[in-house]
């Protein structure tokens, strides 16, 4: 929806227009030259000063046009509009609404104010570097500290996707270099997880709360959380995968290789449909989930506040979900109570940390990294990068502390030297 113009004045025989929008205190100016419209803000509230700036700008624009320096090309703003139209249509239902809205916010607040009126050929590697400097200065003025590296990275991703849209439509000849010069590689830190001692402390706390909940009506929620912690740490599922899981997706089987009873799970998540084999520690939590009666929930009603007297309990069926609601709030309460919310490097622990705990514990037991990657529906590179590097059990002391055998003559000389010394 376009903003309405409240006041407008014509200059230079009608070739130049000075106007003010309803929601702005500054005067804008516009002119049609070289087959396209040109607009800028005068950054002035006074009409007389705005007219002077507009005339100087228009005369400079005409000079560039006569010298052949004014290119008739699409602007970054045009590419951004086309990118928004395509992205919303093609990714509908495939991308998170939060992710899509994040792109529009970056375009509106940062990319369009800086690149908006530039011709697409004017956006070079140098201009991108100027943008990084501008963003740093802007963040320092507003927040007193520079924008986070990941924040700036997401803005460059949005810029790249917009320029690729222009490239596909033939509005741009080549994609400029968007890499970040002068910067060392970022530190790769491991993912937040629970060490064996911390994990034991966590499930003992959830187990105690399941036996003695703060309020009787919270008993069902506390029991569900305890089984959620054990189930996640013994399967390595992502939280969204676990919340999407139905009872018909899980089977209790006897593994022929280990002769142990485990779970075979059909996982539906961000990587499509995959398969997972749990450890034996996930079997009893699953059986409890299967046998535990649950209340029927209404939309918007938190299950922590539902008592057994208020609702009818029923035994879940094959199409019911193992975890019908998220345990985010209760899980965070227990982390805070047990002082487990942050690891020693200050990283925040979440339900995702239970997946990281599963991977780390499997590595510590000496499991094959390729099999772990397949079971967790990720890559060996990701595990090597974020998990295996900080697990001490991955280092083989026998392979590290190897000593080269000495030649026979040298061993004889050393034996004689020892005899003489005696």
Q: Which burial class, exposed, middle or buried, applies to 322 when counting CB atoms under 10 A from its CB (0-12, 13-18, 19+)? A: buried
Residues 371 and 258: beta-carbon distance below 8 Å: no
Please tell me the predicted confidence (pLDDT) of residue 1.
Answer: 42
Long-range contacts of the stretch 140-148 (C-beta < 8 A, 24+): none
Q: What is the CA radius of gyration of the chain?
A: 32
Concatenated DSSP letters of 310-322: TS-EE---TTSBS
Please tell me the predicted confidence (pLDDT) of residue 79.
Answer: 94
Could you report the per-residue pLDDT of 347-384, keeping only the tens digit for each? 899 999 999 999 999 998 889 999 999 999 999 988 88
Q: Which residues of 110-248 form beta strands (DSSP E)?
A: none
Please tell me the predicted confidence (pLDDT) of residue 411.
Answer: 65
Residues 303 and 295: beta-carbon distance below 8 Å: yes
Buried b (16+ CB within 10 A) or exposed e, 246-277: ebebbeeeeeeeeeeebbebebebeeeebebb
Name the percent of the chain lying above pLDDT 70.
85
Helix intervals (H) in 282-389: 283-291, 328-337, 352-364, 369-375, 380-386
Residue 94 in this model has a pLDDT that exceeds 60:
yes
Higher-pLDDT residue of 186, 258: 258
- When pLDDT is cut at 50, 70 and 90, the band that residue 43 belongs to is confident
61-to-3, 15, 20, 54 alpha-carbon distances in Å: 25, 12, 21, 10
* Distance, CA of 2 to CA of 58 (rounded, Å): 24
């Amino acid at each position: 929806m376009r903003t309405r113009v409240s006041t407008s004045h014509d200059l230079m025989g009608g070739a130049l227009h000075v106007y003010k929008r309803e929601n702005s205190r500054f005067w804008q100016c516009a002119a049609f030259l070289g087959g396209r419209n040109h607009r800028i803000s005068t950054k002035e509230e006074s009409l007389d000063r705005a007219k002077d700036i507009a005339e100087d700008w228009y005369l400079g624009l005409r000079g560039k046009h006569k010298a052949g320096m004014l290119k008739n090309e699409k602007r970054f703003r045009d590419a951004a509009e086309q990118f928004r139209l395509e992205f919303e249509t093609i990714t509908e239902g495939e991308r998170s609404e939060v992710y899509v809205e994040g792109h529009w916010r970056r375009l509106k607040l940062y990319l369009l104010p800086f690149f908006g009126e530039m011709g697409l050929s004017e956006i070079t590697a140098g201009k991108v570097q100027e943008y990084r400097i501008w963003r740093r200065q802007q963040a320092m003025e507003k927040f007193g500290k520079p924008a986070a590296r990941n924040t700036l990275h997401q803005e460059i991703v949005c810029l790249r996707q917009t320029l690729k849209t222009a490239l596909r439509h033939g509005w741009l000849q080549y994609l400029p270099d968007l890499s970040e010069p002068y910067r060392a590689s970022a530190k790769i830190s491991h993912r937040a997880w629970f060490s064996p001692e911390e994990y034991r402390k966590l499930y003992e706390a959830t187990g105690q709360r399941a036996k003695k909940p703060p309020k009787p009506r919270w008993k069902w929620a506390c029991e569900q959380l305890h089984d959620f912690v054990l189930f996640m740490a013994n399967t390595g599922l992502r939280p969204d995968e676990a919340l999407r899981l139905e009872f018909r997706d899980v089977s209790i089987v006897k593994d022929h290789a280990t002769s142990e009873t485990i779970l075979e799970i059909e996982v539906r998540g961000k990587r499509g449909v995959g398969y997972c084999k749990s450890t034996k520690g996930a079997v009893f939590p699953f059986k409890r989930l299967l046998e535990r009666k649950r209340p029927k929930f209404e939309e918007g009603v938190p299950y922590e506040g539902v008592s057994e007297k208020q609702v009818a309990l029923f035994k879940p069926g094959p199409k019911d979900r193992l975890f019908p609601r998220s345990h985010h709030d209760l899980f965070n309460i227990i982390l805070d109570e047990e002082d487990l919310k942050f690891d020693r490097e200050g990283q925040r622990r979440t339900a995702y940390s239970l997946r990281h705990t599963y991977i780390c514990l499997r590595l510590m037991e000496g499991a094959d990294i390729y099999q772990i990657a397949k079971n967790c529906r990720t890559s060996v590179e990701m595990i090597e990068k974020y998990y295996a590097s900080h697990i001490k059990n991955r280092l083989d002391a026998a392979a590290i502390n190897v000593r080269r055998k000495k030649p026979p003559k040298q061993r004889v000389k050393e034996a004689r030297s020892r005899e003489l010394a005696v």
